[in-house]
Amino acid sequence: MPTIVLVDVSLSMARPLPPTDGGEEYQRQNLANHGITTLLDYIATHSRLEFTALAVYSSLWELIVPFTRDYNELKNGLLKLDVFDKTRLDVALQEVRSTVLEEWSPITPCQLVLVTDGRSGIGPGSFRHLFDNPKGSKEKSLPIPFPFPCKIQVMLICSQSEALQTNALGLSQKLIDINGGGGNVHIPEGPLGLKSVQQMFLKLAESTYAPFYGTLSCGHLKSDIQLAPAPEGFNVKHDFETITRTVSPEIEVCGFIDVSDICSPPTISRHLVLPVTTKDSNGKNKEEDEVEDGKAPSFCVLLHGSLKVENMCAIVNVGSDWYGILYSWADSKKKSNLMLGLVQPGDESISWLGKFSNLAPCTDFDSHPYGEDDTKTPFPVRPAEKRSYAQNSVVWVRASGLQADIQKVLRQARKLPDKQQAFYKELNRLRKAALIIGFYELLEGVAAMLERECTLLPGTAHPDAALQLTHATKQLRLSVERDVTHNITPLQTNFTNEND
Amino acid sequence: MTFPASHKTVFVLDHSPEFAESCRQNVDFDIFTKSRGTGVIPLAPISKSLWTCAIEAVLEYCRIVFDLFPTGKLIRFVASDTESHLLNSWDADEQNLPHMAQSLARLGPPNENEDSSECSIMHGLASAVEVLCECSEKQHEVRTSLTEESSLIKNRGRIVCITSVKSDSHVKMLEEWVQDAITQHNKLAAGSDSLMPINLCELYLIHTMPLGVDSTITEDKHVVSSVLSSFIGASRSGRYLAHKLAQVVQVHFDLAITTITGIPMKEEQNASSSANYDVELLHHKLAHSDLVTFDSSGEMNTAMGLTLKWCTPRSNTIELQHCTGAFRVTPVDVISRPSSCLTNFLLNGRQVMLEQPRKIGAKIVSHMLTSHGGEIFIHCLMITRSTLEDPPSISEGCGGRVTDYRITDFGEFMKDNRIAPKESTVDVDIEDSPIMNVKSQLERQTRHWPMVISNTIVFNMLSHVDPLPSLITKEHLDEDDVVECKKSIYHLVGMETKGDALPVPVMGSRGKGPKREEQYRQMWSELETLVRSCSDLSPAHEQVLDCVLDCRKPSEDNPKSSKRKQVVEPKEDVAEKISPSETEQAWQSLDKYKGMTEREKRDFNLGDSNNDHMKYDSPLSPDPPAKKQKTLTGEKKKDGGPKSFLALWNNKLNSIYSQKHIEFAGRNTTPGGVDELYPHMKSEEDGSPVNGNNQS
Interface of A with B in 169-198 (CB under 8 A): none
A358: alpha, beta or left, given left = phi > 0 and alpha = psi -120 to 50? alpha
Q: Does A139 touch chain B (CB under 8 A)?
A: no
Q: Looking at chain B, which residue has its C-alpha nearest residue A279?
A: B398
Can you say how many angstroms the Cα of residue B658 is from the centroid of all Cα atoms in its chain? 65
Q: Looking at chain A, which residue has its C-alpha nearest residue B325?
A: A266
- Name the range with the highest mean pLDDT among A183-192, A448-457, B330-339, B686-695: B330-339
Write phi, then psi, for A359 (nearest 5 degrees): -75, 130
Terminal C-alpha separation, chain A: 73
Pairwise CA distance, residues B416 & B425, whole Å: 24
The rounded percent of chain B whose pLDDT value lies above 70 is 75
The Cα of B20 is separated from the nearest Cα of chain A by a number of Å equal to 9
The average pLDDT across B201-229 equals 91
Give the lowest-confidence range in A96-105, A126-135, B125-134.
Answer: A126-135
Model confidence at A22, in pLDDT bands (50, 70, 90)? low
- For residue A259, give the nearest of B318, B389, B395 by CB distance: B318
- For residue B36, give the nearest of A1, A407, A456 by CB distance: A456
> What value of ipTM does the predicted structure carry?
0.88
Terminal C-alpha separation, chain B: 92
Q: How much is the pLDDT for B185?
A: 94
pLDDT value at A441 more than 60: yes
The average pLDDT across B579-589 equals 53
Pairwise CA distance, residues A349 & A358, whole Å: 13
The Cα of A41 is separated from the nearest Cα of chain B by a number of Å equal to 19
Residues 6+ apart with CB under 8 A from B230: B175, B202, B203, B205, B220, B221, B222, B223, B224
Contact assignment for A357 to B447 by CB distance below 8 Å: no
> Mean pLDDT, chain A, as a whole number?
84
Count of residues making up chain B = 696
Contact assignment for A260 to B7 by CB distance below 8 Å: no
Identify the CA nearest to B79 among candidates B43, B62, B60, B104.
B104
Q: How much is the pLDDT for A116?
A: 84
The average pLDDT across B463-488 equals 81
pLDDT value at B667 more than 50: yes
> Mean pLDDT, chain B, as a whole number?
78
Q: Looking at chain B, which residue has its C-alpha nearest residue A48?
A: B391
- Measured between beta carbons, the chain B residues lying within 8 angstroms of A343 are none
Give the lowest-confidence range in B44-58, B175-189, B545-559.
Answer: B545-559
Q: Looking at chain B, which residue has its C-alpha nearest residue A378?
A: B420
Q: How much is the pLDDT for A133?
A: 61
The Cα of B504 is separated from the nearest Cα of chain A by a number of Å equal to 19
Pairwise CA distance, residues B204 & A424, whole Å: 41
Contact predicate A455/A487, CB 8 Å: no
Q: How much is the pLDDT for B636?
A: 41
pLDDT value at A210 more than 70: yes
Q: How much is the pLDDT for B533?
A: 84
Contact assignment for B52 to A438 by CB distance below 8 Å: yes
Model confidence at B28, in pLDDT bands (50, 70, 90)? confident
Alpha carbon distances (Å) from A337 to A329, A344, B394, B426: 5, 22, 5, 39
pLDDT in tens, B375-416: 999 999 888 778 887 888 888 888 888 888 999 999 999 998
Question: Which of A389, A455, A485, A487 is the best mutation test for B, with the most CBs of B within 10 A?
Answer: A389
The average pLDDT across B133-149 equals 86
Contact assignment for B27 to A402 by CB distance below 8 Å: yes
Pairwise CA distance, residues A33 & A56, whole Å: 12
Q: How much is the pLDDT for A59?
A: 80
Model confidence at B430, in pLDDT bands (50, 70, 90)? low
pLDDT value at A111 more than 60: yes
pLDDT value at B449 more than 80: yes
Residues 6+ apart with CB under 8 A from A164: none
The average pLDDT across A297-322 equals 91
Contact assignment for B28 to A399 by CB distance below 8 Å: yes
The average pLDDT across A420-431 equals 93
Pairwise CA distance, residues B10 & B13, whole Å: 10
Contact assignment for B1 to A51 by CB distance below 8 Å: no
Q: How much is the pLDDT for B690?
A: 45
The average pLDDT across B186-195 equals 89
pLDDT value at A173 more than 80: yes
Q: How much is the pLDDT for B571?
A: 39
Strands (E), A344-431: 359-361
For B223, other C-beta atoms within 10 Å of its C-beta total 9
Question: Which of B418, B440, B444, B454 is the best mutation test for A, with the most CBs of A within 10 A?
Answer: B418
The Cα of B290 is separated from the nearest Cα of chain A by a number of Å equal to 5
Q: How much is the pLDDT for B670?
A: 56
Give the lowest-confidence range in A185-189, A330-334, B156-160.
Answer: A330-334
Pairwise CA distance, residues B301 & B256, whole Å: 13
pLDDT value at A24 more than 80: no
- For residue B51, give the nearest of A293, A315, A438 by CB distance: A438
Q: How much is the pLDDT for B107?
A: 92
Pairwise CA distance, residues A113 & B222, whole Å: 42
Task: Report which residue type is found at B312.
Answer: T
The Cα of A116 is separated from the nearest Cα of chain B by a number of Å equal to 25
The average pLDDT across B475-494 equals 83
Q: How much is the pLDDT for B475?
A: 81
Q: What is the dihedral of CA A353, A356, A357, A362, to 10 degrees?
A: 50
Q: How much is the pLDDT for B435?
A: 85
pLDDT value at A47 more than 90: no
Q: How much is the pLDDT for A279?
A: 56
Contact assignment for A399 to B27 by CB distance below 8 Å: yes
Burial string for A144-161 (b: 16+ CB within 10 Å, else e) reads: bebbbbbbbbbbbbbbbe
pLDDT in tens, A372-404: 888 888 989 888 889 999 998 899 999 889 999
Q: Does A164 touch chain B (CB under 8 A)?
A: no
Contact predicate A7/A36, CB 8 Å: yes
The rounded percent of chain B whose pLDDT value lies above 90 is 34
Contact assignment for A254 to B419 by CB distance below 8 Å: yes
Identify the CA nearest to A107 among candidates B453, B436, B385.
B385
Contact predicate B529/B484, CB 8 Å: no
Q: Does A57 touch chain B (CB under 8 A)?
A: no
Q: Number of Cβ pairs closer than 8 Å across A and B?
A: 428
Q: Which residue did the predictor score with more confidence, B62 or B314?
A: B62
Model confidence at A284, in pLDDT bands (50, 70, 90)? very low
Q: How much is the pLDDT for A10?
A: 81
pLDDT value at B497 more than 70: yes
Model confidence at A124, in pLDDT bands (50, 70, 90)? low
Q: What is the CA radius of gyration of chain B?
A: 42
The average pLDDT across A25-53 equals 86
The Cα of B489 is separated from the nearest Cα of chain A by a number of Å equal to 25
Write phi, then psi, for B415 (nearest 5 degrees): -65, -40
Three-state SS at B194 = coil
Contact assignment for B393 to A337 by CB distance below 8 Å: yes
The average pLDDT across A231-244 equals 84
Q: Which residue did the predictor score with more confidence, A143 or A134?
A: A143
Q: What is the dihedral of CA A491, A492, A494, A495, to 10 degrees?
A: 50
The Cα of A466 is separated from the nearest Cα of chain B by a number of Å equal to 17
The Cα of A411 is separated from the nearest Cα of chain B by a number of Å equal to 10
Model confidence at B296, in pLDDT bands (50, 70, 90)? very low
> In sequence order, what DSSP letters do the residues of B509-527 get, joined into one string?
STT-PPPHHHHHHHHHHHH
Q: Which residue did the predictor score with more confidence, B74 or B582?
A: B74
- For residue A240, give the nearest of B142, B294, B455 by CB distance: B142
pLDDT value at B507 more than 90: no
Pairwise CA distance, residues A394 & B334, whole Å: 9
